[in-house]
Amino acid sequence: MFIDINTLGPDGEGFDRSLHLRDLEGPSRERIDDVEIHLSGTIVPAGSGARLDGSVEGTVLLQCSRCLEMFPWKVAARFDLAVRRTEESARPLTEDEAASILVAPEGRVGLEELATEQVYLNLPLKPVCTPGCRGLCPTCGINKNLSTCSCTTEVVDPRLAPLLPFRKKLSGS
């Protein structure tokens, strides 16, 4: 599904679509199943290109980076982009300016690609199901949110870890 900026009228065009995004990857490269995203906004002519204002909303199932359980993550973001046919500029662009430009070489803006980009930009790098997630036991692997284990975890300063064999040898004699 595309919007062609070459055929925009002077008042622009609005869009309001529900899209199914497939073959997405999560922050840990896990496969994300079919995601339904709502994309809406307006695109109006501006200079030699267009101005695109919109929003994306939807729910993505992510894997918690602490306990490895799946949980829903709500994506809700607004964006404002300048649509251009080429990347060329009369002057060097700042990072913020470059990030707010959408290059559409043939003047066609792909809504699926736009929605996918906005979803990826709004995913957390290390998703956590709840702020108080206790994660997995490093010894037995049990999910500490669901049950407790009897493992003892001795906290050792990593700088002193090479001396542990010597300590065990002394305590054993």
**What's the angle, vertex CA 170, arms to CA 165 and CA 171, rounded to 5?**
100
Averaged over 78-104, what is the pLDDT?
77
Query: Same domain for 93 and 140?
Result: no
Overall size of the chain counted in residues: 173
**Gyration radius of the chain's alpha carbons:** 25
Query: Same domain for 27 and 87?
Result: yes
Query: Same domain for 96 and 152?
Result: no
Q: Give residue-wise pLDDT tens across range 12-61.
A: 899 999 999 998 998 888 888 889 999 999 999 988 888 999 999 999 99
Identify whether 128 is part of a domain. no
Count CB neighbours of 52 within 10 A.
24
Query: Same domain for 101 and 158?
Result: no
Q: Give residue-wise pLDDT tens across range 119-158.
A: 999 999 999 999 999 999 988 899 999 999 888 777 788 8
Of 48, 25, 40, which Cα lies nearest the Cα of 111?
A: 40
Number of structural domains the chain divides into:
2
Query: Same domain for 23 and 78?
Result: yes
CA–CA separation, 70 and 127 (whole Å): 10
Query: Same domain for 117 and 154?
Result: no
Identify whether 98 is part of a domain. yes
Chain-centroid distance, C-alpha 153: 34
Range of the domain at 43: 2-121
Query: Same domain for 146 and 67?
Result: no
Query: Same domain for 32 and 106?
Result: yes
